Amino acid sequence: MMATSVSSSYNTRMHDLVGKLTWRAWHVYDQWNERRYGIRTSGEIKPEELGFPGGESYHGGLYRPSSWVVLRHVFKSFPVRDEDIFVDYGSGMGRVLVFAAQQPFKRVIGVEMSEDLNRVARENIDRNRDRFRCDDVQVVTADATEWRVPDDLTVAYFYCPFPPQVFEQVLQQLFTSLDRRRRPLRLVYYFMADPDRELLLATGRVTQLDYPAPWHLRKQLTELWMFDLR
C-alpha cells in the first residue's frame, strides 16, 4: 500500500512538473515570436477595458490571442491555394493575420469590433508586410453578425471570439454565402465550446476533419477542430 501511495505521489509531482515546463516553453516561444515580428499581441483584455458593456448585449468575448504553436500547426494541416480567402473572426491585435498573410492566400481579412485593437493590428501588419506572401490584408471594424460574408471566402478561423448565440448568427451567414455560391469552405475553431459544436453539428451540413497531431502537441490539439461546410 505504501509503495502504491509513493508511486502515485511521484506521478502527480512529475505530471505537475511537466505541465509547468510545458507552459514555460510555450511562454518563451510566445515572447520569441513577439520579438521576431516586432509586434505586441500577448495578454488578456476584458470587454470593459475596450469600452464594451458586459452581459448578453455584448457580442464579443475576452481578448486572448491564439497560440503561435497551434497556428503553426493549423497551416501545416491543409494546403493553402492561391485562390483561397481567409478570415479571422475576432482578429484582435492581428496575430493570426500576421501569420496567415505569410501563406499564399489571395486575401486575408480580420473582422474585429474594437477599433482600438484594430489600430494595433494595422500597426503590427505594417511592420511585417515585407514577410507576407499575401498582398491583400484587410482589417475590418465590424460586428460579426452584421458583416457580410464574401462569396469567395474559403477558410474561416475562430478562437472562441463570441457567445453561442452570436456564433449561431455568424454560422447562418456562412451557410447563406455558401448557398449563394457553392465552393469549398473550411471552418477552423480552436477551443470550441460544446454549445458551439452542437450548433454546428445540428446543421447536418458539416464534415469533421481528421488531422495528424505530433505527440508533443496532442493534449493542446484536442481543442482544435476543423470542418468542411457543405
Q: Provide the β-strand partners of residue 226.
A: 188
**H helix or E strand, kind and range, residue 69:** helix 68-76
pLDDT of residue 173 exceeding 70, the answer is yes
**Residues 52, 114 contacting (CB under 8 angstroms):** yes
**Residues 106, 83 contacting (CB under 8 angstroms):** yes
Hey, what CATH topology would domain 47-229 get?
Rossmann fold (3.40.50)
pLDDT, tens digit, 9 for 90 and up, residues 36-46: 999 989 888 88
Q: Give the pLDDT band (50/70/90) at residue 10.
A: low
Cell numbers placing 52: 464594451
Cell numbers placing 34: 513577439
The Cα–Cα gap between 211 and 78 comes to 9
Averaged pLDDT score across all residues of the chain: 88
pLDDT, tens digit, 9 for 90 and up, residues 174-204: 999 999 999 999 999 999 999 999 999 999 9
